[in-house]
Amino acid sequence: MNISDDDNNFSYRILFERVFDPIALYRIDGGRIVFEDVNPAYERVMKVSRDEVTGLTFDEVWPDSEPRWQQVITECLAQNRTMHCIGESVDTDSYLEAVAFPIPPGRAAVIFLDRTRLKKSDEALRKRQRQLQALAAKLTITEEATRRAIASDLHDRVGYELVNHLTILRSINSSGIAGEFRAKIQELMTITERIIAENRSLIFELSPPVLKEAGLTPALEELAENILTPAGVHWQIITKGNPDDLEADDSVCVILYRSARELLINAVKHSGASEVSIIINTKPELLTVAVEDNGKGFGVSDSEDGSAEGNGFGLFSVRERLRALGGELRIVSEPNKGAMLIMSCPRKLKYGEFTQ
Ligand SMILES: Nc1ncnc2c1ncn2[C@@H]1O[C@H](COP(=O)(O)OP(=O)(O)O)[C@@H](O)[C@H]1O
Ligand SMILES: [Mg+2]
């Protein structure tokens, strides 16, 4: 069946009239964009009438509109291909996407899609994401504070009482008791010494005092000694930048320390590396801790945030916690070429961002 031009025009007309989204038809006249036609949806949404706008220039109908809406039309006509743009529209108080396609000869039809709800849900999602990042960072900081509090109670209260206990046992032991009692007392002394040693290592595991007392570099050294050395991995710490810049907020040190722990454990668990370098770089604004290994490396996906392959929670949580402080995690790795994971974070947090 042959379709005549008249039939075609009729079909276009039906489409133009019935479609629920606003469409306007433009041509260029003397370098200016002129309205040729608008559909009923355009009249309804833009609150103008077809008779009113036909023959007027874009500027005459929308004197305050953003330049992007005219640009998309001129580019579509100049390049004779479909173009699109998206943004706020002051005239309609909404967030619009415009798709402009050329209609020969020399005209452009633009369909306006209302993306306000999409934009709002996108914003709400981003806000939730920021809140979750902040929550993750706060959790780490609170966890560290709680660990420190428990460790100091174990040290000051339990540890103190245990030492008292041992002193008493020692004095009984040296008071001249004999036989079965003496053996029992000595057994109790050995047990108490063991509990004291256990308590010490528990305190250490809970909250290594070195981070608070000596700072990030010695704390990372100790971490490497505890994680890498027993796994037979050679390691070194390299510091770059001005040592004066090493001073950072407590929260920043805690997050970097806990995150470095995850990276070192990953190096042992996943990389099969024989060498690991921890590179601490200090700049006036930024503190960077990188963990580099010579292991088997891994693929970094093409996803927007460059997150690592796999569904592990470790790198995800490192990244989110750093982001909450305004920092980031970058991963440079290729299979069989080792991996370099670079954490960077502002040294000082903005006032009120996280209470120490
Ligand atoms: N240093 C590394 N070398 C090789 N692969 C790594 C390294 N670090 C992480 N990976 C890979 O990235 C994945 C995600 O790590 P992570 O998020 O910490 O989760 P998990 O350790 O629980 O698997 C790991 O399963 C591993 O495949
Ligand atoms: Mg891990």
> Which pLDDT tens digits describe the chain residue by residue (356 residues)?
455 556 666 777 787 888 889 999 999 998 899 999 999 999 999 999 999 999 999 999 999 999 999 999 999 999 999 999 999 988 888 899 999 999 988 899 999 999 999 999 999 999 998 888 888 888 888 888 898 899 999 999 999 999 999 999 999 999 888 888 899 999 999 999 999 999 998 998 888 778 888 889 999 999 999 999 999 999 999 998 876 666 788 889 989 999 999 999 999 999 999 999 999 998 888 999 999 999 999 887 644 454 555 567 899 989 988 998 889 999 999 888 999 999 999 988 765 555 44
Tokens representing 309 are 């392959």
**DSSP states of 125-191 as a string?**
HHHHHHHHHHHHHHHHHHHHHHHHHHHHHIIIIIIHHHHHHHHHHHHHHTTT--HHHHHHHHHHHHH
Residue nearest to atom 3 of ligand 1 (CA): 271
Nearest to 228 by CA among 266, 188, 282, 182: 266
Residue 327 is given by DSSP the state: -
Residue 240 carries which side chain, given as an amino acid letter? K
- State the pLDDT at residue 148: 86
| Best residue for ligand 1 mutational test, from 266, 271, 319 (most atoms within 8 Å of Cβ) | 266
Contact predicate 256/318, CB 8 Å? no
- State the pLDDT at residue 137: 82
| Best residue for ligand 1 mutational test, from 235, 270, 311, 343 (most atoms within 8 Å of Cβ) | 270
Residue 16 CB–ligand 1 contact under 6 Å: no
Quick one: which atom of ligand 1 is closest to the CA of 291?
1
Can you list the alpha helix ranges (DSSP code H) found in 267-324? 314-324
pTM, two decimal places: 0.68
Residue 266 CB–ligand 1 contact under 6 Å: yes
**Pairwise CA distance, residues 69 & 87, whole Å:** 9
Residue partners of 181: CB distance under 8 A and separation at least 6: none
Q: Is 261 left (phi over 0), alpha (psi -120 to 50) or beta?
A: alpha
State which residues have CB under 5 angstroms from ligand 2, the bound ion. 266, 314
- State the pLDDT at residue 6: 65
- State the pLDDT at residue 134: 85
- State the pLDDT at residue 126: 92
Residue 293 CB–ligand 1 contact under 6 Å: yes
- State the pLDDT at residue 7: 63
- State the pLDDT at residue 325: 87
- State the pLDDT at residue 11: 72
- State the pLDDT at residue 207: 83
**Pairwise CA distance, residues 175 & 144, whole Å:** 45
